[in-house]
Amino acid sequence: MHPAERPASGKLKRGLKARHLQFIALGGIIGSSYFLGNGYVIGSAGPAAVLSYLLGGAVILCVMLCLGELAVARPVSGSFITYAADFISPHWACGIGWAYWLTWVTFVPSEMVAGGIIMNYFFPDLPAAMFSVIFMAVITAINLLQVAIFGEMEFWLALCKISALVAFACGATMIVFGVVAGNYIGSSILLGEGGFFPNGILPVFLVMVIVLNNFQGSEIIGLAAAESKNPGKTIPKAIKNVVWRICAIFVLPLLLLVSILPWNEATVADSPFARAISHYGLHSLVSTINFVIVTAAISASNSGLYAGARALFGMAGAAMAPGRLSGCTEQGVPKAAIIFTIAFCWLFLLVYFVADYFSLSYLYENLLALSGFTGAMSWISISWCQLNFRKWYMARNNCTDGLLFRTPWHPWPAVIAIVVQVICILMMPFTEQLRIAFYLGLLLFILPMVLHRYLAGRARRDNAGTSRS
């Protein structure tokens, strides 16, 4: 039996609805980095940063279309990690899986740190670390609940920040047309200070690595497929909705942001959204923006912890992680994988506190930048798997009539996604802020592959020796 013919895991409970899937993915994407980190993107590319996000949205569309075909055909725990084992190699899947898991166990505590720092705005006399610990405890409890309860919590958390972005878009539109500030702005700021490409066209592509990093989390839909109700209907619907919502939520607010805030005033020191609001005297709304950033941090961490635990659960079931991590409670919660993942999240939270105490800011920045590398590797793997899956399926059936969801324009979405992301990864060593993350990510990707290959070879030798005796 080919691995692709294995039945889907029946351990996880299918308690997630279509709206849960959509908002879990959006929750993982829209983190505090979108509200705080876009200052670097805008400062580098100027108003043309909008094009970077449009290109990033095109890549996401390609990857999600590939993932949709795989997830509907085989809604299994482990998602793209399991697909990689079946259609590329178990060694590659092990490298992808552990690198992806490490992404989230470093990302989750970094969001908690960001949330704690923002809380200092409201409570300056209380330590930020206290709030970080409280937030971590909250998402720990949420992830140990039944998946339907988790999905409902994430739905409302994600809805809060999406509503805030919609409100910002409405407010910024009124500023552009002079309803708020009293003066019609139009395109004077968008095309002022050097025009749409103040630093040339090259920065549009150089910041793509950061932009793709901000999109990471969309693949969580695949990990949630094994816990979704009627995946043949909910997965395609969720993928289509997430793609256009990503464009609406990321691209449109950013276009309006660079239309009301001069690009050279955007910095990494604070949120460009809050700076834009203050620019027009709406200082009372800065508190609202900061509250939304805290909500974004909690929501993204909630989705990230979910993704890391489910990835680990899938690896355990495929003998790429300790087998004891593959167990589920009677409610269908992979408790062992969640607790293991949470333990490392708490460990990295301590690492961030130590780094902050010794002013090791570079440690924090490089650990966070790892997600850009591992996220791109995961998406490359998804696209590659779709190509190989389609070849395998056609060899057995001679047509695609049996597929409930087919990647349109095959094979171009997979090819485009792979080529663009490989280029982005190869650019990382030439970008000072991403160089260390590239080499560290490459090392953390290769080491599990080498270890898995060694252990698999030793197991084969042991089995051969046992059979001869």
**8 class by beta-carbon count within 10 Å (0-12 exposed, 13-18 middle, 19+ buried):** middle
| 98 vs 279: which has the higher pLDDT | 98
Alpha-carbon Rg for the chain in angstroms: 22
Buried b (16+ CB within 10 A) or exposed e, 224-261: bbbbbeebeebbbebbebbbebbbebbbbbbbbbbbbb
Q: 412 pLDDT exceeds 90?
A: yes
Structural domain includes residue 321: yes
Note the pLDDT of residue 469.
56
CA distance linking residue 54 with residue 417, whole number of Å: 14
Structural domain includes residue 403: no
Phi and psi at 16, nearest 5°, equal -95, 130
Task: Give residue-wise pLDDT tens across range 138-175.
Answer: 888 877 776 666 667 767 777 777 787 888 888 888 88
Q: 468 pLDDT exceeds 80?
A: no
Structural domain includes residue 5: no
What the block records as the tokens of 418 is: 């792979």
Structural domain includes residue 464: no
| 11 vs 132: which has the higher pLDDT | 132
Closest CA to 277 of 298, 253, 301: 253
Task: Give residue-wise pLDDT tens across range 48-89.
Answer: 999 988 888 888 889 988 988 998 888 776 678 889 999 999
Q: What are the beta bridge partners of residue 16? A: 228
DSSP 284: G
The count of domains in the chain is 1
> Which residues have a Cβ under 8 Å from the Cβ of 387 and sit 6 or more positions away?
411, 414, 415
Structural domain includes residue 391: yes
What the block records as the tokens of 267 is: 């910095």
Q: 361 pLDDT exceeds 60?
A: no
Note the pLDDT of residue 122.
84
How high is the mean pLDDT of the chain? 80
CA distance linking residue 187 with residue 388, whole number of Å: 47
> Which residues have a Cβ under 8 Å from the Cβ of 94 and sit 6 or more positions away?
85, 315, 320, 448, 449, 451, 452
CA distance linking residue 102 with residue 369, whole number of Å: 12
**CA torsion sign, 395 to 401 to 402 to 406?**
positive
Angle between helices 90-122 and 32-45 (to 10 degrees): 100
Note the pLDDT of residue 446.
92
| 408 vs 468: which has the higher pLDDT | 408
> Which residues have a Cβ under 8 Å from the Cβ of 276 and sit 6 or more positions away?
172, 257, 260, 261
Instruction: Classify residue 195 as left (phi > 0), alpha (psi -120 to 50) or beta.
Output: left
267, 6 in Cβ contact below 8 A?
no
Q: What are the beta bridge partners of residue 228? A: 16
**CA torsion sign, 236 to 103 to 60 to 292?**
positive
Structural domain includes residue 7: no
CA distance linking residue 339 with residue 140, whole number of Å: 8
Q: What string of DSSP letters covers 28-70?
A: HHS-HHHHHHHHHHHHHHGGGHHHHHHHHHHHHHHHHHHHHHH
Structural domain includes residue 232: yes
What the block records as the tokens of 13 is: 């409970």
Enclosing domain of residue 98: 20-395+410-457
Confidence of residue 20 (pLDDT cuts 50, 70, 90): low
Task: Give residue-wise pLDDT tens across range 237-260.
Answer: 777 776 677 777 778 888 989 999
Task: Give residue-wise pLDDT tens across range 293-325.
Answer: 888 888 778 778 888 888 898 888 888 888 888
Number of other residues whose CB lies within 10 A of the CB of residue 353: 17
Q: 133 pLDDT exceeds 80?
A: yes
CA distance linking residue 96 with residue 102, whole number of Å: 10
Task: Read off the pTM.
Answer: 0.83
Phi and psi at 439, nearest 5°, equal -70, -40
**CA torsion sign, 53 to 35 to 148 to 376?**
positive
CATH number at residue 238: 1.20.1740.10
Note the pLDDT of residue 10.
41
CA distance linking residue 130 with residue 141, whole number of Å: 17
Residue with tokens 């139009």: 186
Closest CA to 381 of 427, 417, 350: 417
Phi and psi at 193, nearest 5°, equal 55, 50
Structural domain includes residue 9: no
Note the pLDDT of residue 27.
57
Q: What string of DSSP letters covers 359-389?
A: T-HHHHHHHHHHHHHHHHHHHHHHHHHHHHH
Q: 263 pLDDT exceeds 60?
A: yes
| 463 vs 359: which has the higher pLDDT | 463
Note the pLDDT of residue 8.
41
What is each CA distance from 202 to 67, 153, 205, in whole angstroms? 30, 41, 6
Q: How many Cα neighbours within 13 Å face the side chain of 162?
A: 22
